[in-house]
Amino acid sequence: MKYISRNLFNRIAAVFITALLCLNLSGCSLLGSKEEELTPEQRSYLAMSSYEAEYLYPDPYSVSNHLCVTSTDVSISGYEQNGVSGATGLFDVTNEKVLEANGIFTKQYPASTTKLMTCLLALKMCDMDEIVTVSPNLENLDKDSSVAGLKVGDQVTVLDMLYALMLASGNDAALALAEHIAGSEESFAALMNDTAEELLCTGTHFVNSHGLHDEEHYTTAYDLYLIFNECIKYDTFNTIIDTPSYTGTITRENGSQVLKEWEATNYYFKGIVDLPSNVTVMGGKTGTTDEAGACLVLLSRDNSGNPYISVVLNADNKTSLYREMTELMEAIPES
């Protein structure tokens, strides 16, 4: 990868050059901080962002990589972090600002928000009409897995598999996509980690495509923002997450075809919780395990259509998760 293969001199030079350029930048507090004030994780973000800017953004005013960046917790008027979650973040995509941040660099278990990376890799590497065949390895999935109703030998298009992945949160769909793309889940996890590094996710390590708990499978709220921010560049992704339910076509091993309806796990779409009053919820990805708590990453838009990414991780329960997410989104200022 290009980040690893460059020599150390160039990397140090890139950091030094960007540090000088930061005198001319605004809205980029991490790059403007003194090194001794930063945590090791934040210094890593600084180095990688600078390195990326040196080679991909020759315009010095683009060294922020068009990302929302902060070095400290950030508070937004109208919202108070109440301690029921492990991390919260609110990111103004248009203006490249972190509006709220609490624990966004802290290690968290992602549960099924992992599937954002699985989806991203499928969008990047597959044609949507490719056929995915479910392998016998399906039988090795944990019996507590959330599944989309797939069976060994089933054939499904990549597009329909993505609906099964993102709406029904099917671990069976995640495994099938991983094997289709990389040959094995182990190889796919390596690909996930390579892609995470390319996206500057310095607090993330994946070992599977679905998010079932593993001590070595972790991320941060900020890294999930980075991954989600990349996902929303794809129109297909935005269409999928904005769909409350979808009927996919499965070709069984015997050649017969069945229709399968997958519904979004998002409580806003299911009508279980009230929608926020000031924004339109466009969709996102849920995740829940005992170790990860209740997690949610969402895209919303204000009345002018400006996009915002909000993240809540490790909430005590789903009631607390959606209450906190609603309060977070309702703090978005009027445009």
Indicate which residue of 49, 50, 169, 209 is catalytic.
Answer: 169
Nearest to residue 322, comparing CAs of 14, 20, 88? Answer: 88
169 assigned to active site: yes
Question: What's the CA gap between 309 and 329, in Å, rounded?
Answer: 9
34 assigned to active site: no
Question: What's the CA gap between 192 and 188, in Å, rounded?
Answer: 6
Residues in the chain: 335
* φ/ψ (deg, to 5) at 107: -60, 130
DSSP label at residue 251: E
Indicate which residue of 49, 50, 115, 260 is catalytic.
Answer: 115
107 assigned to active site: no
Question: What's the CA gap between 323 and 334, in Å, rounded?
Answer: 20
What order do you get walking across the sheet with 97-102 strand by strand?
A: 97-102, 87-92, 307-315, 293-301, 280-289
Q: Is residue 313 within a helix (H) or strand (E), and if so which, with residue range?
A: strand 307-315
142 CB-contact burial (10 Å; exposed 0-12 / middle 13-18 / buried 19+): exposed
Pairing label, strands 131-133, 293-301: unpaired
Indicate which residue of 49, 112, 209, 310 is catalytic.
Answer: 112
What token pair was written down for 327? 């309060």
Residue-by-residue pLDDT tens, the chain, 335 positions:
333 333 333 343 333 333 333 333 333 334 444 444 444 444 444 444 443 433 333 333 333 468 999 989 999 998 887 778 999 999 999 999 999 999 999 999 999 999 999 999 999 999 999 999 999 999 999 988 999 999 999 999 999 999 999 999 999 999 999 999 999 999 999 999 999 999 999 999 999 999 999 999 999 999 999 999 999 999 999 999 999 999 999 999 999 999 999 999 999 999 999 999 999 999 999 999 999 999 999 999 999 999 999 999 999 999 999 999 999 999 999 87
334 CB-contact burial (10 Å; exposed 0-12 / middle 13-18 / buried 19+): exposed
CB 29 within 8 A of CB 69: yes
CB atoms within 10 A of CB 32: 14
